[in-house]
Amino acid sequence: MAASETVICIGCPLGCRVVVSLDKKGNVTRIKGAQCKQGERYVLKELREPVRTLTTTVRTMDDAYPLLPVRTTRPVLKTLMADIMRETVGVRVKPPVRCGKVIIADVAGSGADLAATTDWKG
């Protein structure tokens, strides 16, 4: 059965609600509601492969500085966010840490690393 999906474009303050019609095989048959070509491109990418940069914290061994902020080194599939959060459970980091240091490589098989976003001399 044919279906349609609605995606809100985040490219500009307009926030177009774009309706994408799909045929049985999931091919795009129609795209409606975007006010610009860039928006259409964003919406098609968001539909096919929605990605986000995930930022969170990991535990340290230091009560005075209990958390180290981290990020994925590039945007990851948004469906992987819960898996990444689970992988950070139980991680304990020790100083010194330099901004950019990899805390978990290829986190949750996302292809991105989870890396420190600050320096921590300890």
CA pair distance 63, 45, nearest whole angstrom: 43
Whose CA is closest to 30, among 1, 55, 2?
A: 2
Considering only residues 3, 99, 102, 105, which one is a binding residue for another protein as defined by CB under 8 A?
Answer: 99
| Smallest distance from another protein to CB 23, Å | 25
**Total length of the chain:** 122
Environment class of residue 82 by beta-carbon count within 10 Å: exposed (0-12), middle (13-18) or buried (19+)?
exposed
Asked whether position 122 contacts another protein by CB under 8 A, the answer is no
Nearest to 58 by CA among 6, 102, 10: 102
- The interface with another protein within residues 11-70 (CB under 8 A) comprises 12-15, 35, 52-57, 59, 66-67, 69
The region of 24-32, 78-86, 104-112 touching another protein under the rule CB under 8 A is: 78-86
**Residues interacting with another protein, by CB under 8 A?**
8, 10, 12-15, 35, 52-57, 59, 66-67, 69, 71, 78, 81, 85, 99, 117-119
